[in-house]
């Protein structure tokens, strides 16, 4: 969707900040104060006492607006602050400062109103009681939301059918595999038919087929009614690209870019992306970015085989010749050279300076 002056915001945050106390430092200080064995008397004036607990900044002034009807993605590496942001919006955590609204309600002042309109699913969560079946568990959750019992069972059966989970309807929770449990949790998110649904890594650890079904289902669900909104987090680039109307790239608690996947890719302008497969040699990110025309570089090496993969964002084709010269000087053999269509992965590398791998780790030079 394109946002306009008349857009109704389903989610809005203003300079949202959340810090956490660094527990390791707090402990050190406590230990020093109380006396710590034979050295306790001296420790009070020692280095541990001076070490002031540093607050760890998980969210660093996040201002976002998500329109009603949007499927909006938060894309970022492990520790970027995605779950923290979702927890604040879902009224599970307070911000340290700043404000947030869901469907116009302030999450701190009107948490009860917000709760009525939302639902949240986290990949890998462990909800439910082992001795209940899948269908019983989902029904139980529906009753927490005050749904009519028969209507709830109708919805549950329909959702299980769509997600391909019908055969497990009468399986006890304790017998579910991790992936099956995730499917059940996913269905739980939709049973209450929320206005705003938060999906925290919905396809984490699921196989390709199930992930595809889930992505398609979420898209269809949000587009079926104009007042449904989804905020999802992911570190899968392709997922964000394929599903989301708009994406916010978030790193170290800050939003670095926010736009549609197409516009984000266009923002690279005339830059292009190159992938190199290399054998042997010592190609470094620093060495690559020192080449004129190379803007960003990320190198991952497989220690066992000595093979490396380099992804580069180049500003001009003139960089290719010196690039190949540098690789040869490093003693590396070029196994494959690809100039490719720009993807969200390249946008991430270009903006954040690091490449995001499939586990959510960001590697590369700043
Ligand atoms: N309860 C907490 N106490 C202390 N630090 C926390 C707490 N919750 C989160 N953090 C820290 O805040 C930062 C952001 O965490 P968060 O879980 O929001 O990241 P994320 O983007 O969801 O990462 P992931 O992709 O791994 O799920 C991390 O460095 C994390 O260690
Ligand atoms: Mg998370």
Q: Which atom of ligand 1 is nearest to the CA of 74?
A: 21
Neighbours of 223 (CB within 10 A): 13
Q: Which two tokens stand for residue 193?
A: 């038919």
Same domain, 79 and 180: yes
Same domain, 207 and 243: yes
Query: Which residue has the CA at smallest separation from atom 30 of ligand 1?
Result: 79
Q: Given a cut of 90, is residue 148 above it in pLDDT?
A: yes
pLDDT of residue 35: 38
Domain that holds residue 274: 269-363
**Residue 82 CB less than 6 A away from ligand 1:** yes
CA of 58 to the centre of ligand 1 (A): 7
Residue 102 contacts residue 10 (beta carbons within 8 Å): yes
Average pLDDT over residues 287-310: 91
Q: Given a cut of 70, is residue 287 above it in pLDDT?
A: yes
pTM of the model: 0.83
Same domain, 143 and 216: yes
Alpha helices per DSSP H over 131-207:
134-144, 149-163, 178-191
| Phi, psi angle pair for 126, to nearest 5° | -120, 85
Residue 328 contacts residue 287 (beta carbons within 8 Å): no
From CA 218, how far away is CA 44, in angstroms rounded?
Answer: 56
Same domain, 183 and 223: yes
**Residue 356 CB less than 6 A away from ligand 1:** no
Residue 100 contacts residue 89 (beta carbons within 8 Å): yes
Q: Which two tokens stand for residue 186?
A: 């996913």
pLDDT of residue 366: 45
Same domain, 86 and 119: yes
Percent over 70 (pLDDT), the chain: 87
**pLDDT higher for 269 or 200?**
200
The whole-chain average pLDDT of the chain stands at: 86
Query: Which residue has the CA at smallest separation from atom 7 of ligand 1?
Result: 20
Tell me the best of 19, 23, 54, 80 to mutate to test the pocket of ligand 1, counting ligand atoms within 8 Å of each CB and taking the most: 80
Classify residue 16: in a domain, yes or no: no
Query: Which residue has the CA at smallest separation from atom 8 of ligand 1?
Result: 84
Classify residue 350: in a domain, yes or no: yes
Helix or strand holding residue 333 (H, E): strand 333-340
**Residue 360 CB less than 6 A away from ligand 1:** yes
Average pLDDT over residues 52-56: 75
Percent over 90 (pLDDT), the chain: 60
213-256: per-residue pLDDT in tens? 899 999 999 999 999 999 999 888 888 999 999 999 999 999 99
Classify residue 221: in a domain, yes or no: yes
Tell me which residue of 99, 117, 91, 62 sits closest to 248, measured CA to CA.
62
Alpha helices per DSSP H over the chain:
23-34, 40-43, 47-50, 82-89, 111-117, 134-144, 149-163, 178-191, 208-224, 237-243, 261-266, 285-289, 320-329, 344-352
Same domain, 112 and 236: yes
Q: Which atom of ligand 1 is nearest to the CA of 77?
A: 25
Count of helix runs (H) and strand runs (E) in the chain: 14, 16
Same domain, 328 and 198: no
**Residue 76 CB less than 6 A away from ligand 1:** yes
Q: Given a cut of 80, is residue 149 above it in pLDDT?
A: yes
Q: From the CA atom positions of the chain, what is the Rg in Å?
A: 24
CA of 51 to the centre of ligand 1 (A): 23
**pLDDT higher for 32 or 358?**
358
pLDDT of residue 364: 56
User: Which of these three, 259, 287, 322, is where a domain ends?
Assistant: 259
Range scoring the smallest mean pLDDT among 36-50, 186-200, 220-234, 283-297: 36-50
CA distances (Å), 111 to each of 73, 84, 85, 92, 93, in order? Answer: 23, 16, 15, 9, 11
Same domain, 223 and 162: yes
């Amino acid at each position: 969707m394109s946002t306009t002056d008349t857009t109704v915001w389903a989610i809005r945050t203003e300079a949202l900040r959340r810090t956490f106390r660094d527990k390791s430092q707090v402990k050190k200080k406590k230990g020093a104060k109380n006396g710590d064995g034979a050295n306790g008397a001296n420790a009070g004036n020692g280095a541990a006492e001076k070490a002031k607990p540093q607050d760890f900044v998980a969210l660093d002034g996040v201002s976002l607006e998500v329109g009603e009807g949007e499927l909006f993605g938060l894309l970022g590496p492990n520790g970027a602050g995605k779950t923290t942001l979702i927890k604040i919006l879902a009224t599970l955590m307070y911000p340290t400062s700043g404000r947030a609204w869901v469907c116009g309600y302030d999450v701190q002042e009107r948490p009860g109103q917000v709760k009525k309109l939302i639902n949240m699913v986290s990949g890998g969560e462990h909800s439910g009681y082992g001795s209940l079946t899948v269908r019983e568990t989902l029904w139980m959750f529906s009753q927490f939301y005050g749904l009519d019992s028969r209507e709830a069972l109708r919805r549950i059966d329909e959702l299980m059918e769509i997600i391909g989970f019908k055969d497990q309807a009468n399986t006890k929770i304790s017998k579910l595999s991790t992936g099956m449990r995730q499917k059940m949790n996913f269905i739980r998110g939709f049973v209450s038919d929320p206005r705003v649904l938060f999906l925290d890594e919905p396809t984490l650890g699921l196989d390709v087929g199930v992930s595809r079904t889930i992505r398609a289902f979420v898209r269809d669900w949000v587009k079926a009614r104009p007042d449904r909104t989804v905020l999802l987090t992911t570190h899968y680039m392709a997922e964000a690209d394929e599903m989301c109307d708009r994406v916010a790239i978030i790193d170290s608690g800050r939003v670095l870019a926010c736009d549609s996947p197409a516009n984000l890719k266009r923002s690279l302008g005339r830059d292009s992306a190159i992938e190199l497969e290399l054998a042997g040699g010592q190609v470094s990110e620093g060495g690559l970015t020192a080449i004129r025309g190379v803007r960003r570089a990320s190198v991952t090496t497989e220690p066992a085989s000595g093979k490396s993969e380099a992804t580069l964002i180049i500003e001009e084709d003139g960089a290719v010749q010196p690039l190949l010269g540098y690789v040869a000087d490093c003693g590396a053999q070029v196994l494959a050279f690809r100039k490719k269509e720009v993807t969200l992965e390249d946008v991430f590398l270009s903006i954040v300076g690091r490449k995001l791998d499939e586990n959510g780790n960001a590697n590369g030079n700043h």
